[in-house]
């Protein structure tokens, strides 16, 4: 008989730096997951992406086992990293907080493509460009 999924938990955790402290411990502890097991597996799976914030979906099954899927970093995180800024503009597109090139925009779109609702890379680039403009990040040719 197949295991039945009883819970899906979404978290954003720095790559390779999961600990039992919040938010990991407070989210996964009540679900009955063995925290050291999750922490070790997550850190091993993400050690090559150190420094990135990674969304992760944890699937909890009825026998208290679990699987997890690591997604691509949030678009805003990748845009800020490419622009070299720590914060986006507080007023959105009304003030410029930084800039990225069209090539950097394409790289971000290619990275995010598996998680975006786009048919091709041009559609993905438009989605990322809209996010960048709302953050006050200018796109230079």
pLDDT of residue 92: 79
**Helix, coil or strand: residue 38:** helix
As a CATH number, domain 5-70 is 3.30.1550.10
Sheet containing 66-70: give its strands across: 5-14, 53-61, 66-70
**For residue 10, pLDDT beyond 90:** yes
CATH superfamily of 75-140: Ribosomal protein L11/L12, C-terminal domain (1.10.10.250)
- pLDDT class for 1, splitting at 50, 70, 90? low
- Under 8 Å between Cβ of 56 and 69: yes
Say if residue 23 is preceded by a cis peptide, omega within 30 of 0: yes
pLDDT digits (tens, 9 = 90+) for 21-69: 888 999 998 988 889 999 999 999 999 988 889 999 999 998 889 999 9
pLDDT of residue 103: 95
Q: Any residues with CB less than 8 A from the CB of 30 and at least 6 apart, and which? A: none
Sketch the domain layout of the chain as residue ranges: 5-70, 75-140
- Under 8 Å between Cβ of 66 and 77: no
């Amino acid at each position: 008989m197949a295991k039945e999924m009883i819970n899906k938990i979404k978290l954003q955790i720095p790559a390779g730096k999961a600990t039992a402290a919040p938010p990991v411990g407070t989210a996964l502890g009540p679900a009955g997951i063995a925290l050291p097991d999750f922490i070790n597996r997550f850190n091993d799976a993400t050690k090559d992406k150190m420094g990135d914030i990674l969304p992760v979906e944890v699937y909890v099954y009825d026998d208290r086992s679990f699987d997890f899927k690591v997604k691509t970093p949030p678009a805003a995180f990748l845009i800020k990293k490419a622009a070299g800024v720590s914060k986006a503009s507080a007023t959105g597109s009304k003030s410029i907080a930084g800039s990225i090139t069209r090539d950097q925009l394409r790289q971000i779109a290619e990275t995010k493509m598996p998680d975006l609702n786009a048919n091709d890379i041009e559609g993905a680039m438009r989605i990322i460009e809209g996010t960048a403009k709302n953050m006050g990040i200018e796109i230079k040719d």
